[in-house]
């Protein structure tokens, strides 16, 4: 599914502040599985996640998605693939203040130029599935933490991606909401999607639905 071969990522190359976030990472992510990347802060989790999710390019090494080499694709192609393939759930809901929930959810689909009516339907369905359809017209400032999180999940799903990436999703959620979140992940798995999560929350990596845990330390995978 997703294959990383000898991937390195170096920041500020050539400068005194040069540092290596990832050192020779070899990783294979299987389809329709829930994989958790675990590791302390500074271990390179976020960097690894952003390379897996086609958000940035490695300094060296190769990345393959579904067998296709995507290492040196220009940004516009990478973004196109990313739009269709990946759904991102961030630590913070990262919603745009001042516009409604519905608008926020439809945002990722704007560049694709789909007809507004279709898009709106899709968005409303997504919101209904997570029980926040009644908040569609509200401004995001008025949502509770859990509602905001769910909104960002609906947003991540708007383009029907088959890989979900979540970065420390339970960092700002209480226990009850965290369990709710894991239930949502379970439905993704049941739908055939692949899920990659970074977390250092035991609630997440010790959960029964997790298929694989990858340990990261100092930019390398611990075996």
- Residue numbers at the binding site for another protein (CB under 8 A): 10-13, 46, 49-50, 55-61, 71-77, 79-80, 82-83, 88, 90-92, 94-99, 103, 107-116, 155-156, 159, 167-168, 171
28: tokens are 């294979």
Residue 34 or 140 having the CB closest to another protein? 140
Residue 40 or 111 having the CB closest to another protein? 111
Rounded to the nearest whole angstrom, what is the least distance from the CB of residue 223 to another protein in the complex? 25
Residue 117 or 223 having the CB closest to another protein? 117
Beta carbons within 8 Å of 19's beta carbon, 6+ residues apart: 10, 11, 12
Rounded to the nearest whole angstrom, what is the least distance from the CB of residue 36 to another protein in the complex? 17
Look up tokens 């933490």; give the residue. 145
The phi, psi pair for 156, rounded to 5°, reads: -65, -25
The phi, psi pair for 129, rounded to 5°, reads: -60, -30
Residue 74 or 202 having the CB closest to another protein? 74
Rounded to the nearest whole angstrom, what is the least distance from the CB of residue 81 to another protein in the complex? 10
DSSP-assigned letters across all residues of 119-131: HHHHHHHHHHHTT
Rounded to the nearest whole angstrom, what is the least distance from the CB of residue 208 to another protein in the complex? 27
Residue 171 or 209 having the CB closest to another protein? 171
Whether residue 197 contacts residue 166, with contact meaning beta carbons closer than 8 Å, is answered with yes
Whether residue 140 contacts residue 101, with contact meaning beta carbons closer than 8 Å, is answered with yes
- Distance between CA atoms of residues 118 and 65, nearest Å: 29
Rounded to the nearest whole angstrom, what is the least distance from the CB of residue 222 to another protein in the complex? 23
- Distance between CA atoms of residues 205 and 198, nearest Å: 9
Angle at 28 between CA 63 and CA 77, to 5 degrees: 30
5: tokens are 């071969």
Rounded to the nearest whole angstrom, what is the least distance from the CB of residue 200 to another protein in the complex? 13
Residue 165 or 177 having the CB closest to another protein? 165
Look up tokens 């294979």; give the residue. 28
């Amino acid at each position: 599914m997703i294959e990383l071969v000898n991937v390195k990522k170096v920041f500020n190359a050539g400068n005194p502040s040069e540092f290596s976030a990832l050192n020779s990472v070899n990783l294979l992510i299987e389809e329709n599985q829930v994989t958790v990347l675990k590791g302390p802060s500074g271990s390179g989790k976020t960097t690894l996640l952003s390379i897996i999710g086609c958000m940035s390019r490695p300094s060296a090494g190769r990345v393959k998605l579904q067998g296709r080499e995507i290492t040196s694709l220009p940004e516009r192609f990478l973004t196109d693939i990313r739009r269709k393939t990946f759904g991102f759930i961030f630590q913070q809901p990262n919603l745009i203040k001042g516009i409604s929930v519905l608008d926020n959810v439809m945002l990722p689909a704007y560049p694709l130029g789909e007809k507004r009516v279709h898009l709106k339907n899709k968005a409303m369905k997504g919101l209904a599935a997570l029980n926040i359809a009644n908040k569609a017209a509200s401004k995001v400032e008025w949502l509770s933490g859990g509602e905001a999180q769910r909104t960002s999940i609906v947003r991540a799903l708007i383009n029907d991606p088959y890989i979900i990436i979540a970065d420390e999703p339970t960092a700002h959620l209480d226990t009850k909401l965290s369990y709710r979140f894991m239930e949502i992940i379970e439905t993704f798995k049941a739908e055939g999607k692949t899920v990659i999560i970074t977390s250092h929350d035991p609630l997440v990596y010790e959960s029964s639905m997790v298929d694989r845990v990858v340990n990261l330390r100092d930019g390398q995978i611990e075996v």
